[in-house]
Amino acid sequence: QQQVKQSPQSLIVQKGGIPIINCAYENTAFDYFPWYQQFPGKGPALLIAIRPDVSEKKEGRFTISFNKSAKQFSLHIMDSQPGDSATYFCAASPHTGTASKLTFGTGTRLQVTL
Amino acid sequence: GAGVSQSPRYKVAKRGQDVALRCDPISGHVSLFWYQQALGQGPEFLTYFQNEAQLDKSGLPSDRFFAERPEGSVSTLKIQRTQQEDSAVYLCASSLRRDRRYTGELFFGEGSRLTVL
CATH number at residue B88: 2.60.40.10
CA distance B18 to chain A (A): 24
Residue of B nearest to A4 (CA): B42
pLDDT, position A66? 95
pLDDT, position B99? 59
Report the candidate in B27, B42, B12 with the shortest Cα–Cα distance to residue B95: B27
User: For the range A48-51, what are the long-range contacts, defined as Cβ-Cβ under 8 Å and sequence gap of 24 or more?
Assistant: A48/A75, A49/B104, A49/B105, A51/A95
pLDDT, tens digit (0-9, with 9 covering 90-100), for B51-89: 999 999 999 999 999 999 999 999 999 999 999 999 999
Domain region containing B20: 5-110
Residues of B with Cβ-Cβ distance to A103 under 8 angstroms: 45
Give me Rg for the CA atoms of chain B: 14
Gap between the Cα atoms of A28 and B2, Å rounded: 36
Question: In the predicted model, is pLDDT for residue A62 greater than 70?
Answer: yes
Gap between the Cα atoms of B25 and B50, Å rounded: 12
Number of structural domains chain B divides into: 1
- Could you say which DSSP state residue A97 is in? S
Q: Is residue B117 part of a domain?
A: no
Whether B44 and chain A come into contact, CB under 8 Å, resolves to: yes
Q: Is residue B89 part of a domain?
A: yes
Residue B49 phi/psi, 5-degree rounding, is: -120, 140
Q: Is residue B116 part of a domain?
A: no
Q: Does domain A1-49+60-89 have CATH number 2.60.40.10?
A: yes
Mean pLDDT score, B2-28: 96
Gap between the Cα atoms of B26 and B2, Å rounded: 6
pLDDT, tens digit (0-9, with 9 covering 90-100), for B5-16: 999 999 999 999
According to DSSP, the residues that pair with B95 across neighbouring strands are B31
